[in-house]
Structure 1
Amino acid sequence: MTGLSKRTETFTDSVIRRMTRVSLKYQAVNLSQGFPDWDPPAKLTARLAEIAAYGPHQYSITWGAQNFREALAKKQTHFTGLDIDPNTEIVTTCGGTEAMMTAVMSVTDPGDKVIVFSPFYENYGADAILCSAEPIYVSLTPPAYTFDAAELERAFQQHPKALILCNPSNPCGKVFTRDELQIIADLAEKYDTWVITDEVYEHIVYEPYENIYFATLPHMRERTISCGSLSKTYSITGWRLGYVIARPEVIEVARKVHDFLTVGAAAPLQEAAVTALSFDDSYYDWLKQHYTKKRELLLNGLREIGLPHTEPQGAYYVMVDISAFGFASDEEFCETLAEKVGVGAVPGSAFFHEDNNDYLRLHFAKNDDTLNEALTRLADIYKKMPVHRK
């Protein structure tokens, strides 16, 4: 038989999703894959129930139902201050994952280079490779996850077609400062580079930090391709509703890519989601308070146990330093953690381009009972986890 695709040889299945299966295997509390264990807002599910009876149930417009795009444009205009045209500057996608793939495919050709900050959400490197582009990795240095401006410029000097910016960041919870974003913007303008932003955690930011939309920086709207999702904001990760927002000339290409990738996002779910997109500011204030409490619950518990960790500025992930346990492999550590302690986590090496086995990622998008049970189990970690020597 003739060979299979070579472009897929350098990456595996999703480590994040694999760790959910490991958690199920050992009946561990799953703090690996980032989805909540509570219901979406009641108004949203009530509207979905109505639509189940009355529709729509057929294809919507390929690039998104008209009322969905109008509601999304109004909501994003409110938060960004940018006047977004629902008819020329939006394409609705099957989740943020497809949004990112659509964006990368819309601006890159085989052999182009794409800058990716490390650590990174595991899909980014794969997105570039599937587009036959070459990722250039720039380090974010723990524990503050700052970048070196000189290293970043050396990456730009390789004339990449795009830079991928996740802000707030998965997995490390970093929220980029205005000064950091301006450095990126200045280099993008100097080297004529697209900036593809992943903003799925836009509304999950903790005091005193502030989410700054990259497209709002001077001269950046023209070269920014903003990708987002409703998954995290409205607790509907299974609905797979995402979007790309960019200038009309970019969206014209993105619509064609999207059309042949998935045809269109689910029409009934778009119709229901209009309800959520119309929520007033009180919902987003509640969301911030909700996650702030969960963040403190988990961080306080980790402090009491004595597990060193980062304090996320945004998103809902915590990086835990496991270097003291001495395991040669963080994947082995996480498998043992699920089996012996009963808590599921993601090995940090899934996110780092660098050779790094010192971290795991936990998430706190869980009910308090779930988080407390995980902390109760983690309290015995030093007793139950064997110490290895590297």
Structure 2
Amino acid sequence: MPIPAFRVATFGTTIFTEINTLAQQYGALNLGQGKPDFDTPPDIVEQLVQALRSGQYNQYAPGPGTPSLRKAVADHAARFYNLEIDAANGVVITAGATEGILSAILGLVDPGDEVIVIEPFYDSYVPNILMAGAVPVYVPLHPPDWTFDPDELRAAFSEKTRALILNTPQNPTGRVFTRKELMLIAKLCSAYDATVIADEVYEHLTFGDARHIPIATLPGMFERTVTVSSAGKLFSATGWKVGWVYGHPDLVAGVGRAHQFVTFAVHHPTQEAVAYALNLPDAYYEGFRSMYETKRRLMMSALD
């Protein structure tokens, strides 16, 4: 009798499927997943409706993504981080950030390579590494502040290190890595010629004195970083599954080569709506953070 392939034999059910099943079974609130309990803003939804009805976007999108969305991603990186992104060659639109991470690993990591993972981590990282035939190497964050030990980080690097997955703001701890921490990561990645796969889906959700610093903005790091983000978290549209990867064209080319055989293309009309959303004024992002800050204060007061 045929059995599952060895590469997936050890994979269980994703924790998010388990959480959703239990929440539905018991009528519980799901606080363990980045899935908002409020809808996508109506004007963004209306853009999707118009795209669907126009008749222009109901066939395959270009494999790397629509020109409008790739430009919007590049413009967003320029507006918020002063990064100059080549929209035509430095951006790939993916089926959510999860596919972006998989395509980045498949396109930039070879079998036998080591990939450093900071734990705890988003549950797709390690299965993606294993499916690529690579080896995960773990660096723990230590409570209560969820910081890493610099010596443990240094010890994780070797001549086999090909990449490091950096998630900041971090899921699930909420840790926002400081410039000092990022500088050490950058120094080690440069010394060992490692690529950073930067998962930044919570880039606009920082509170208090915490400030998100994309590692690609540090000296010498743009050339060795691909950045992953997603419309799901930014626009309360997790069901749309639209994400993106951007960076130096030489790195993004590898991501794109993998992406074309993972999904080929992403839902066409939704890309038009997300392009509109990314071009919303700064007031949207300020209101987005403020709304979450209110919810955060409410939760903290309940837990005190």
Tell me the TM-score range normalised by the shorter chain: over 0.9
Cα pair 2:159 2:192 within 8 Å, conserved: no
One-letter code aligned to 2:223: E
- What count of residue pairs does the alignment treat as equivalent? 303
Say whether 1:190 aligns with 2:191: yes
User: CA deviation digits over 1:115-155, x for unaligned, max 9?
Assistant: 00111111111111111111000010011110011111110
Instruction: Letter of the 2:279 partner, please give it.
Output: S
Q: Is the 8 A contact 1:17 1:33 kept in 2?
A: no
Q: Secondary structure at the match of 1:7?
A: helix
Say if 1:20 and 1:32, in contact at 8 Å, map to a contact too.
Answer: no
Q: Does structure 2 retain, via aligned residues, the 8 Å contact 1:90–1:244?
A: yes
- Residue 252 (str. 1) matches residue 253 (str. 2): yes
Question: What pairs with 1:1-390 in structure 2 (closer than 5 Å)?
Answer: 1-55=1-55, 56-157=57-158, 159-303=160-304
Equivalent-residue separation in structure 1 for 2:123 and 2:115 (angstroms): 15
Gaps of 5+ in 2: none
What secondary structure sits across from 1:232 in the alignment? helix
SS state at 2:74 partner: helix
Query: CA contact under 8 A between 1:82 and 1:216: conserved in structure 2?
Result: yes
d(CA) in 2 for partners of 1:183, 1:254: 25
CA distance in 2, matches of 1:27, 1:110: 43
CA RMSD of superposed structures (Å): 1.1
Amino acid at match of 2:24: L
Could you state the TM-score of these two structures normalised by the residue count of structure 2? 0.97
User: 2:171, 2:258 → 1: CA distance?
Assistant: 25
Does the residue aligned with 1:29 lie in a helix, a strand or coil? coil
Report which stretch shifted further, 227-236 or 153-162: 153-162
SS at match of 1:186: helix
Structure 1: tracts of 5 or more residues without a match? 304-390
Q: CA deviation at 1:2?
A: 4.4
How many angstroms apart in 2 are the aligned matches of 1:244 and 1:102?
9
Matched residues in 1 for 2:147 and 2:35: separation?
A: 27
Question: Structure 1 length as normaliser, TM-score?
Answer: 0.76
Contact 2:101–2:228 at 8 Å: present in 1 too? yes
Whichever residue aligns with residue 13 of structure 2, its letter is: D
What is the alpha-carbon distance in structure 2 between the residues aligned to residue 235 and residue 6 of structure 1? 36
List per-residue Cα deviations over 1:56-102 (Å, max 9, x = no partner): 11111110001111111111111110111100100100000000001
How far residue 107 of structure 1 moved from its aligned partner, in angstroms, is 1.1
Which structure 1 residue ranges, 4+ long, deviate > 3 Å from structure 2? none
> Larger Rg: 1 or 2?
1
Q: Is the 8 A contact 1:194 1:224 kept in 2?
A: yes
One-letter code aligned to 1:34: G
